[in-house]
Amino acid sequence: MRIVRYIGDDRERFAELMNAFFSEPCRATQWSAWPMSYCVQRHPELIAPYLKKLLDHTERDDVQDVVRRNVMRLLQYVEIPERLQGRVYSLCLDLIGDLKQPVAIKAFAVTTARRIADSEPSLMNELALVVKEQLPHNSIAFAKRAREVL
């Protein structure tokens, strides 16, 4: 939390954190993922210049769960530009439907997908089908968020 407070709403400090997130080795990415998500929760505007690159990174097959979890977590707090909404929605559905994904990732993906689908009934119907299919395989945390969709 000291890192989160240090960065605050400072774009230059946040850029340093994002450089660590996108760097190798993967330890730097893992260590920077948590403070990144909390910085964005407090100041969602900070992530705007990095959204496309963040999605590219998250969609990689070799990305660690901790990274994917924190990206999905921060997307709940961000106004996703229309040009990226389809991509984010599709990523969320893929994660929700993947039995191998940890429940936290799925729960955050449900909330993010719901925010996108709120204004589009056909998307909400699709999301409801995917969520309903996953209910028997997930935890109470997932079920709580699923109820918001269903």
Average pLDDT, the chain: 92
pLDDT at 7 over 90: yes
Domain boundaries in the chain?
Answer: 1-79, 84-150
List, for residues 18-66, the tens digit of each pLDDT value: 999 998 777 888 899 999 999 999 999 999 999 999 999 999 988 899 9
pLDDT at residue number 148: 79
- Residue-wise pLDDT tens digits, 98-117: 989 999 999 999 999 999 99
CA gap 38, 86 in Å, rounded: 24
Maximum alpha-carbon separation in the chain = 45
Instruction: Read off the pLDDT band of 77 (50, 70, 90).
Output: very high
